[in-house]
Each structure stands twice: as structure tokens, then as C-alpha cells.
Structure 1
Amino acid sequence: MKKIIVSLSIALLTLSSCSDYIEEENLSYAENTEYLKASGFESLINANYSQLREIYGGEPWLFVAGTDLYAEGRNTEPIGVSQYTQLTSSSPNVDYLYKECYKAIQRANTAIYYSALTEKTATLNSRIGEIKFLRANAYFLLVQTYGGVTLDTEYHLSPVVSFNRNSAEEVYTFIIKELEESLSLLPTGAYTGRVTKRASQDLLAKVYLTRAYEKFGAAGDFATAAKYADDAIAGETLTLTYAALWLPTKVAADINKETIFSAQFSAASNTSPAQTTGGLPGTQITGNGQASYFSSYLGGSEVSGKAPYRTYNLLPTDYAIGLYEKGDTRWEGTFMTQTYTRYYDYYDVANKTGLAVTHFYVPKWMTDAELATYKLANPKTTIHLYGTYGAAKGLSSDYQTIPVRKFDDPIAPFATSATSPRTSTRDFVISRLGETYLVAAEAYLHTNPSTGLDRLNEVRRRAGVANATAGQFTIDYILDERAREMLGEYTRWFDLKRTGKLIERASLYNYNIKASNFDGANGEKKILRPIPQEALDLNQNKSYPQNPAYN
């Protein structure tokens, strides 16, 4: 399985537009004596963590587009990855995770190589465990997105110009081996920004759960996934309110007791020294772009400081909006259900008495009498009736669709355009305890439904809604619960693909998608994304296979 297969073609694909990465990290085909020192090796470890910002902080399309929860609004999404009708190996954005994950793998291979040569320190073993986790995470994203890919564990002192494709089964075997080896190396204790044993247990649960659905999955995968999920939960209940999970602070930090792993952002690392709030056009921004999606437009640069920039695409569908019931605290915790003249007054003004409400999005459970009372109290408010503010409806004016607020960053500079929306300094939460409960619930659905229902109902208990019943406990109900709990988090495409529900749900609830959109070559369905054409062109091994639907 271990082959010398990362090549000049991968290097060209992943580095051709990243000269600052080459210069800053000095990851060229040469020995680096700085990495032999403890301080230099630590900088190499930090470079591995920094790549998480590129994997998760930039494009959202391969994570969430083309699903049941988000659809195109006034601004155009990349049609191939969002609607499948023009999805080819050369489609825009299809190569994003391929490039960014192989950058991560190259950095990890370098760190593993130098770990045997560098100065011995008290933290060296834990650093090796961290790198194994980060490399496994990159491969997990790749294998879910593209299927079998090139497995490489080597640090290359000279380029290789031809590489082979490993099977998805081989990739999963490697990921599991890597993560299980990390468990004995990683520390326990509270999460402070570095990988812990708990993070590895959580990722192992997700890997085993995902492999369990594959034809090559092992008979015990669901049970093993449940075990690792419970290990990560470690008996901890969900004690924070849902609002507290996402409430932005004046400092750019999102680590709380339920955070298992995250990508770290800060103002110092995100922007040039001259960058200030209200950012100038042309200033390079490398922050977290998550807050810029999942809403209609809220105004132009003239309202900088009053409202965040929104791209006006990836809007919540009517289906997503309709999943919430009265009393579910995730409704207010997820959406900005009413806005003020200054959007950020929601966060900055403690006593909102007397503030003018500009827009109100009526929940599905509000009665006519309740709405009439609200209108009397807010006569100048624009009222958006339930059923009128989903993705398919919001194609004309600002604020026409309901804003997702859970990623808001009131201290972020105003983004300049849809091509440079990465202004937030908030961390990107990759894994958290609420999701781990839902991973356990899904795994136990196939092995011990009673226990699985208990895990799911812990999430519902925190949300303030009634327990689900045994009769309701199905994979569709779990997917609905994941939607309510995790709307806007970068998991939905993987959730639907994993459970075999991608075609069914995307075609039912995304107004731009029909089931026939998934029809590919040779009677195959476009479930996997295609291997990027540039990677195929640069590879001198011309027998490297493309995914079947794209041949």
C-alpha cells in the first residue's frame, strides 16, 4: 500500500498558485536543516495546522452545495458542483479539496520525515500523533469526495512524475491505521487548539461510520464507530445552551467545553498589518469565509460596520427552514429572525428596548393572532411570511431570505466581494460534542437502536424539544436532526453521500436539482466528484482511472 506516488504533477497542481506557501514554509525538494532544531520542527508543525485554514476557511462548495439544505439565490453558484448538470473533471471548484488536502499531506509527510531526525523533546511524540491525525483527516476528505486517490506517505527529495491510484478500501485502511496509531501518542485533557486523543477518537468514529456504508466495509464497522463516538463523548452531557455555542466574542476565540477540534484564525495571521475594520479593496484577506455564506445580501460597503457581507448564495431552502418546531432553541440560535437598523446591534446592545426592527421572519408556528399583535408593536417592520424567505424565493432584494447568524463576526472587516469574502477571525469548528452524539446515534441505529435513540435525544434535550420516539428513529430522522443541529456547518454533502440519500434528498428539496441531473456516463451516477483534469494531465501515468460517471 505504501508507494512512492506523490509526484511532480501533484506538486505542480497543489503549488503552482501558491508561491508564498513555497517561500514561507520552504517545503521544496531539499533538506532543511532548520527542521533538525526543536524550534524549526515546531514551526513545521505549526505550518501543518495553518493548512487547515485553507481547507476549511475558503470555498464551501464541495462541503455543502448541491444538497437539500442550501440552494442558489441571486448570485450564481458553480453549476457543476452545485447542480450536477455540467459536472466534469474541468468544472470550476471541483479541484479545491484535491489541491488543499494534498498540500496538507505534503506538509505532513515532511513533518513525519523530520520527526526521526529532529531534536528529541518532551512533546515530540504528541507532535507525531498530531501530524498523523492531520494527514488522516486530509485523506478522509479526499476519499469521501473523490473515492480512491493516490496514497503517499513519503517525503520526496526529488520529484516523481508518475503515480498510481489506490482503491478507496486501501485509503480507508490507511486512515484507520494512522488514527489508531495516533491514540497512544496524543495527550488527553481539555482542547486548547492542538489535536487531542479525543479528537482522534471522534474522527475514528466518523471514519468507521462512513466505511460501514461502503461495499468493502467490515461487519463490525457500525459497532466500532459507536464505541469510538462514546469514547469521545466520555460521559459528558451537552451543558452549554445552543446560543452560547455560537455567540461571538470580542476576541477571536471559539473554543468552549464542547469544541473537540477547530481550525484557528486570528487577525494577525489573517490580514496584512495595514488591514483595519472596514477593509480596503485589494487588501489580501486570508481569514475564515464561513460567515459570508448562507444568507441574502445585507447591503454594500457603505454599511460597513452596520451589517456583515453576504454572498447571496447557499441560501437555506424551504425544507431546511421548515425542519424547526416551536420551542427549538436552535431556531433563534441559527437564524437572525429579526434585524435592526444596525444588524450588529443584536450583539452590541444589551437592552434592545426602543431599537427599530427592520425585518422579521415569521416562523411557521406563529398564529395569525400572534402575528397581528407583532405588527401592531412594530408597524414599520418589513414582515417576511413563512414560506416566502427560502432560497427559491429570495432572488431580488436585500434581506429577502433569512440570514444564518451562527457564524457572525461583528469585529471582522467588511468583505470587498464574493471573490474575497474571507474576513472573519472566528475559528472554524471542525468537530464538536453535539455532532459526536449524532454520530453515535447513527452508528447505534444499526446495532442498538435503543441506545442510539438515547444519544439523539441528548441533542434534542439541549434544544428544548420533546424526545424522539422509537418509531421516529430512522436514518431520515437522524439526517433531519443533523440539519437542525448543524445547519451551515461543512458536513451536509458528506452526510447525504454517506447514507445514500444524496440523489433522493437533493432532488426533492433543492429547486435547481432533478434526479436526472446525477446521470453520468455509462449508466453511472455522479455521486463522487471527478478527479480533477489538471491532475490527470500532469500525470505521466496515462492509465490513471477517472471516476466512472465522468469517462
Structure 2
Amino acid sequence: MKKIKHIATALFLGLSLNSCQDFLEEDVRSNVSSEFYNTSEGFDLIVNSNYSQLREIFGNEPWLFSAGTDMYAEGRDAEPPGLSQYTQLDANSEGVAHLYSSCFRAIQLANTAIFYSETTEESPVKQNRIGEVKFLRAHAYFLLVQTYGGVSIVTDYIEEPILEFDRDSAEDVYSFIISELEESLDLVEDNMLSARVNRRAVEHYLAKVYLTRGYESFGSSSDFATAASYADDAIAGEGLTISFSEYWLPDTEYTIKPGTIFSVQYDESSTNQDPFKLGHMQSSYFGPYQGGSEIAGDAPYRTYTLCPTQYAINLFTEEDERWHATFMQEVYERYFDFYDFEDTSSLNVAHYYAAAWENSQQFENDYQTEHPEATFHSFGSYVPSINPNNDYQTIPVKKFDDPAAPFGEKTNRRDIVLARLAETYLIAAEAYLQAGNAAIGLQRLNVVRERAGVSDASPADFDINYILDERGRELLGEYHRWFDLKRTGTLVERASMYHYLIEPGNFIGANGELKILRPIPQSALDLNQNNNFPQNPAYQ
């Protein structure tokens, strides 16, 4: 494979040696000699910096993961119009460059670690660490190739900026990702309880990469079957042993909760130096504004963007445990009393958001008789397309709440879960369906439905749209949706059907090409002295 000398941002990266969790010992050093990185301690610090880069990728505004889909739309505050509505999407659009630059920084950190691995002293965990870094490099490339298509494959450690680089094909990038993950699989620990990258995490992502490549024109006819096999390896016969509600309760760290496979890790000790900048933003989205700093401690910060659409609300039925664990349907005068009081029966209710099965005048009358102090939001009235302009006018998503965090946009200290066992089951379901074995795929999907307390899906139900609906119920807000729609070729259809600001024509770009891939950022093109580096077709 061709090696090239620089990344698209044309930046020389100094190492940021911050830990990603208390198990990764925090030890920030500057002005150290390169010999230090040849020690076991120094090499571990480089590896830790690779984990820390995940915070930059996922800890900021989640536009590239969620905006412009069927499940989330802007409320009172506007989203970046290019990423959310496609009409103004171009190489200079707000938010387009973030993932590109942050992933290439992750790649350069990985290249640095792999470079020093050749000379650093041996240790019992050295090969494990190399496997972890190879996974993290592949993970960054997987984000890039899904979002932008083919990008530059960089494997060299960069000491000085080089401003000319080529673009590799998406097919080559997928081949590189799979090669890296397969190498990682033989190196990482086989320990499901490890907070580090372990064998199950690699198997989960191998399943997802093969599944995604299977939809591409260059995908292999066996990709779906291979994805199903890797997903089953990751499942390893384990069921979903705790309830959906228990999983999302902010009581313990996700790394020790059954079902967590891979997460971006945070804790109070790693953010207390500046809790308003070192936390993340996931809980700040997917819900309405509920007041400013004057209510600090009473309600969480919300941006009033990426609010659930009516389609997202309609996915749930009364018996589905995920409805009650995902949404804060009944908001008390002090929002966090939900977590602080075991018995809330005597508390005053500020707002109530009626579910579909409560859509009757009789229910509203009965509820308001019992809670005359509450503002009652009837079903269908609390989505951004209907009433986006005032506080509390869309339903809050509670599954990411961090009641102990300071009031602020970027203060959440809970992990950002990137992969968990329920999703592995859904990957297996999709892979088996596309491989022509719908019966086994349906079995995998129904494991997830059984845990949610809903009836099994039937063979007549089971198709790709049903899987996308199930992923919507299970994974709402978890930074998968844009990738799900792009992977399955349903982005244009579903976004324009369910997002109130998107029409099919919004996707039409240059020369009639569809804006499915995001554009290569103009900042990267401007720094590249290779004038033959192509932009994606819809933006040329």
C-alpha cells in the first residue's frame, strides 16, 4: 500500500498526553525528549493520547452524526443549514470540517504511537497497546470514509508539514480499515470487561465495516455474511442482561455496565480542571431549552436543536420500555427531582407530554384535574415542526442526563457510548437479512425487542425499513442515524419524508449529483498543493 506524508489539515501535531479515564493514568508532560517515548511509560502516554482524541471527535456539536436525518430537526435554535437541510451544503459549510480534521489528528496520533512501538522497550502489554492503536486508527478512517468517501491513507509518522497529498479510493480505504482491524483482533486483550479496546469491540466494528461495505458498488458478495459472522462472534451468546432503563440510569459508569462495548470515557477527575470545557455536549442536544443559568441545578442545559421529529416520537408503543427511559415525559418543577426522589408522587409537575396512547380529551381532563399546576402538551404538539418557539415546547430526551454536572453546554461527564451489545444484535439482524437469511436476522432483532418489553416482529414485518425503525427506537440520540441512512441508501427518501425542512430536491447538487457524501472541506483543499485532488462530485 502506498504511504504518503501528510494529512489533509497540513498540521504538525504535538502530542496531547491527557488520559481518557482514571484507568489511564493522567500525566501531562511537555519538553520531553524523544527517548522518553521509547520507555514503557512514555509509550503508554502516547497510546493514552489516542484515546483522548476520541473526545475531540465526539465531544463537540453532533451535527455530522445526527443533523439532516429523519429523526432530529431544529427547534427554536437553528442548526447549520448545509448539514441539516442540504440546500446550502458546500465545502465551506459550518460543521463540515470538524470530523475531517479531528479524525486526521487521531490518525496522526496513531501513526506516532506505531512509529515509537518499533523502538520502545518491551512490556507485557506492548502488543495489546499496538492493537488498540490500530483499532483507533481504523475507527477514524471508518468515520471518514462513510462521511467523505475516499480520503488520503496516511501511515507515516509526520515530523514536518508536507502540503501535497493524494486521494485514495473509498474501496482502498475500506480494505485498509479491514486489514487494520484484523491485525488488531489478534493483538488486543480478550477481556469483555476491559475499558480499553478489546476483542469484542474489534469484532463489533468488523461486523459494522463489512456490513457498510456490503452496500457499496465495490463490496464483496460475501460482505454481509462476514458481517453476520463477526456480529455473532461479538455477541458470543450473551443476552441483554439488564433493562434498557437500568442501562441508561446515571448511577454507575457505562464501562462496568453489562452490554457496553466501546465508549468515549469521561469522569469527574479528568474534567475537574475545567468542567465547562472538558466535558461533552451529548446531553445538551435532543431537547428544548428549559431556562438559563438562573435555574442551574434545577434543569439541564439544552440547546433546543436536534429535537426529536414526529416520526421519532411515533416509533414507540405503550408497552415499550424505551419510551419511558428515553424521554422525560413528566417534568417536575425541578427537573432533577426525577433522579433525586424515589417517590415523586407529591411533587408538582411543570410539564407533561402526552404519549400517543394518551391522545384523548378524557385523559387530558383527568391529568389536569390531578395536576392543575402542569402545562399539558397534547400528543402531536411537542415536535419542532409544530411549536418550536418557546421553552419546553418539545419533549426532552433524558437518557444522557448527568444530574451531577455543572450547568453548561459542555459539562456532561458520562461516557459517550459508541457501541453496545443491543446494537450488535441489530447489526447481526441487518447483516443476516441482506445475506439472504432473514429467519436468523429476525431472531437477532427480536432479542432487542424482547428486552424492550414489546412483542416479536413477524417475518412479514422484517425488512430494512423495520430495522431502521428498530434502530431508531433503541439508539435515539446515539450518533448513528446519519450513518444508518447513508449506509442503507435511504437518506434522501427518509429525510425528505420525515424532516419538516427537507425536500428531495434539496439533495440535488452539481451536475445533478446527489449530496449524499459530505464535501471535502475547503480548508483542506486550499492547503493541498496537489491540484488534482478531487472534490466530491456533487460539490464540483
- Among 305, 311, 314, which residue is 1:313 paired with? 305
Name the counterpart of 2:10: 11
For the residues of structure 2 that align with 1:74 and 1:34, how far apart are their CA atoms?
51
1:502-544 Cα deviation digits (max 9, x unpaired): 0000000000111100000011000000000011110111110
- Among 194, 198, 214, which residue is 2:200 paired with? 198
Residues 71 and 312 in structure 2, CA contact (< 8 A), matched pair in contact too: yes
Which secondary structure state, in structure 1, belongs to the residue aligned with residue 53 of structure 2? helix
Name the counterpart of 1:163: 165
Does the alignment pair 1:428 with 2:406?
no
For the residues of structure 2 that align with 1:87 and 1:483, how far apart are their CA atoms?
25
Q: Aligned AA for 2:505?
A: S
1:279-335 Cα deviation digits (max 9, x unpaired): xxxxx5121210000001011100000000000010000110011011000000100
Deviation at 1:171, TM superposition (A): 0.1
For the residues of structure 1 that align with 2:294 and 2:466, how far apart are their CA atoms?
43
Name the counterpart of 2:58: 56
Does the alignment pair 1:376 with 2:377?
no
1:132-182 Cα deviation digits (max 9, x unpaired): 100000000000000000001111233322100000000000000000111
Deviation at 1:367, TM superposition (A): 5.3
Name the counterpart of 2:143: 141
Deviation at 1:10, TM superposition (A): 2.5
Name the counterpart of 1:293: 285
CA RMSD of the aligned region, Å? 1.9
Q: Aligned AA for 1:56?
A: F
**Number of residue pairs the alignment of both structures matches:** 530
Does the alignment pair 1:335 with 2:323?
no
Matches within 5 A, 1:195-274: 195-249=197-251, 255-272=256-273
Name the counterpart of 1:443: 431
For the residues of structure 2 that align with 1:10 and 1:355, how far apart are their CA atoms?
53
Which secondary structure state, in structure 1, belongs to the residue aligned with residue 65 of structure 2? helix
Name the counterpart of 1:509: 498
Deviation at 1:105, TM superposition (A): 0.2
Q: Percent identity?
A: 55
Name the counterpart of 1:403: 396
Pair 138,198 (structure 1): closer, same or farther in 2 beyond 3 Å: same
Residues 10 and 163 in structure 2, CA contact (< 8 A), matched pair in contact too: no
Deviation at 1:20, TM superposition (A): 7.0
Name the counterpart of 2:294: 302
Q: Aligned AA for 2:42?
A: G
Name the counterpart of 2:41: 39
Deviation at 1:348, TM superposition (A): 0.7
Which secondary structure state, in structure 2, belongs to the residue aligned with residue 257 of structure 1? coil
Question: TM-score of the superposition, structure 1-length normalised?
Answer: 0.93
Moved over 6 A (4+): 18-22, 24-28
Q: Aligned AA for 2:370?
A: A
Name the counterpart of 1:418: none
Does the alignment pair 1:519 with 2:520?
no
For the residues of structure 2 that align with 1:240 and 1:307, how far apart are their CA atoms?
27
Which secondary structure state, in structure 1, belongs to the residue aligned with residue 419 of structure 2? strand
1:211-255 Cα deviation digits (max 9, x unpaired): 000000001000000000000000111121110111002x66554
Name the counterpart of 1:281: none
Residues 27 and 110 in structure 1, CA contact (< 8 A), matched pair in contact too: no
For the residues of structure 2 that align with 1:425 and 1:346, how far apart are their CA atoms?
19
Which secondary structure state, in structure 2, belongs to the residue aligned with residue 359 of structure 1? strand
Q: Which runs of 5+ in 1 are unaligned?
A: 276-283, 416-420
Residues 5 and 160 in structure 1, CA contact (< 8 A), matched pair in contact too: yes
For the residues of structure 1 that align with 2:196 and 2:398, how far apart are their CA atoms?
27
For the residues of structure 1 that align with 2:296 and 2:255, how far apart are their CA atoms?
23
1:177-218 Cα deviation digits (max 9, x unpaired): 000111111111223320000000000000000000000000
For the residues of structure 1 that align with 2:298 and 2:134, how far apart are their CA atoms?
43
Deviation at 1:64, TM superposition (A): 0.5
Does the alignment pair 1:483 with 2:475?
no
1:386-420 Cα deviation digits (max 9, x unpaired): 000012123222111000000000011111xxxxx
Which secondary structure state, in structure 2, belongs to the residue aligned with residue 265 of structure 1? coil
Which secondary structure state, in structure 2, belongs to the residue aligned with residue 397 of structure 1? coil
Which secondary structure state, in structure 2, belongs to the residue aligned with residue 531 of structure 1? coil
Which secondary structure state, in structure 1, belongs to the residue aligned with residue 497 of structure 2? helix
Name the counterpart of 1:112: 114
Residues 142 and 177 in structure 2, CA contact (< 8 A), matched pair in contact too: yes
Q: Which moved more, 1:185-194 or 1:446-455?
A: 185-194
Q: Which moved more, 1:131-140 or 1:255-264?
A: 255-264
Deviation at 1:35, TM superposition (A): 0.7
For the residues of structure 1 that align with 2:169 and 2:352, how far apart are their CA atoms?
51
1:425-452 Cα deviation digits (max 9, x unpaired): 0000010000000000000112210000
Q: Which runs of 5+ in 2 are unaligned?
A: 19-26
For the residues of structure 1 that align with 2:116 and 2:123, how far apart are their CA atoms?
13
Name the counterpart of 1:354: 346
Q: Aligned AA for 1:11?
A: A
Which secondary structure state, in structure 1, belongs to the residue aligned with residue 246 of structure 2? helix
Name the counterpart of 1:497: 486
